[in-house]
Structure 1
């Protein structure tokens, strides 16, 4: 399997567009994207940060990560959905020791960004990944705990503000109720594992789990938010080591809520995807072999 994933990405620090033969493992379905590498691979693990037009929020987050020396523990990769606000310019990323900027040029939303990031991370040979949103709501000081869990052999690590040690501030009431009364119970029932904070995108995944032929995350069907739901369900079902660790998530005291999830239609679609994931509707019907 690893030999099949040993693909030739350019490492010149220049902008490059991978060819289909370079990028795809067998029938992986990955959106078109451009790779900008600033530095070579230096760590066992990498931190993936999906963003789109996050403005000052991602810049503040990266500066905090740099001050904590997190770039010395894991490589940092930005998975950009096509920002046009200048927030992921070379001038903003290089000083914070971001290793790579991935810029999605194809279709899709968050799940497409995650497929792009997972494909890059696996082909680069990383043993595991940490995912954290790029809107500066999550306490980046928890990243070392995720990395430690990966090194201890955990395969799926979910961050939670609702377990001892977790912190939440200014969480909108409707979001808190939806997590506690709908989202977490539904995912937990489908997974056979009790989760407490399933809408939290702060999590870690092992290479072994992502390349399992029974999982197959590289499918176009994972386009919006459903890949997060699906992976949460599959990890416990397939017998992987799963646990939650405490994290902090702080919403701003005033102003708009940093979120891309807006509108009744979006929320309804997410609800349908949630139940489909819990009921096994995204399980692959055949192996890509």
Structure 2
């Protein structure tokens, strides 16, 4: 039971959890993802990007209680923002629908939200984490962008371009999200840093996409991430952030 887990984990009993899953043509991947969602999740919100396959019927078949939100514009950022606005839980978890992230890791993220952190992000590059899918160009791009964010924001993060995150919904206004594409993950992190939120990185294993082709374009989306880092860099705004790496 959810209440048993939250008590044994040392967290505050009664905190509720919303899982936001953006999806576009992920019908073949949804069953694997949904069957692993742990009992600590109170609501699952599937944000559909006008899929042409059976994503929505498949999600309803696998989890009749799933909530559907239709995004009002293109892009992962648009989908996530729609999902976050629809969420009702005290804590919000975001993860992809392609099977590259395991829902069984969610309790680890929630444990740190329930024990003093405001924003928890997965890292493939701390002890206990890893990737079975990252390409050489994606790894190099991530390293370059990571170096930029750590320098610009005086941070010590170990991963940047990875979208398995959780945060307290009460801080959604502080995250002040506007991005429409994959760069929203970076926007979330830099706004959390700039706002002084207590951030934890936890190890996560990135799995290969189970079926289909990714919508990510490494070079194009990398440029968008870089533009986000530069445009959001401290200047008019500055605040210190506490960043901890945990395992």
Q: Which TM class, normalised by the smaller chain length? A: 0.7 to 0.9
Q: Show CA shifts across 1:15-64 (max 9, x none).
A: xxxxxxxxxxxxxxxxxxxxxxxxxxx96111111111123122221123
Aligned to 2:244: none
* Residues 77-116 of structure 1: pairs in structure 2 closer than 5 A: 77-89=45-57, 91-96=58-63, 98-104=65-71, 106-116=72-82
Distance 1:44 1:172, change over 3 A: same
TM norm structure 2: 0.80
Is 2:148 the counterpart of 1:186? Answer: yes
Is 2:126 the counterpart of 1:166? Answer: no
- Point out where structure 1 has 5 or more consecutive residues left out of the alignment: 1-41, 284-289
Distance 1:50 1:252, change over 3 A: closer
Q: Show CA shifts across 1:108-150 (max 9, x none).
A: 31111111011111xx3x2120111111011222111112222
Aligned to 2:195: 238
CA distance in 1, matches of 2:192, 2:124: 20
CA distance in 1, matches of 2:97, 2:236: 29
Q: Highest Rg: 1 or 2?
A: 1
Q: CA deviation at 1:184?
A: 1.4
TM norm structure 1: 0.69
SS at match of 1:196: coil
Q: CA deviation at 1:231?
A: 1.7
Is 2:95 the counterpart of 1:135? Answer: no
Q: How many residues align?
A: 225
* Residues 128-277 of structure 1: pairs in structure 2 closer than 5 A: 128-180=91-143, 182-212=144-174, 215-217=175-177, 219=178, 222-251=179-208, 258-262=213-217, 264-277=219-232
CA distance in 1, matches of 2:163, 2:237: 19
Q: CA deviation at 1:78?
A: 0.9
Q: Show CA shifts across 1:206-258 (max 9, x none).
A: 1232133xx432x4xx21123221220121222211010001102259x87x4
SS at match of 1:56: coil
Segments ≥4 residues shifted beyond 6 Å: 280-283
Residue pair 1:78, 1:98 contacting (<8 A) in 2 also: no
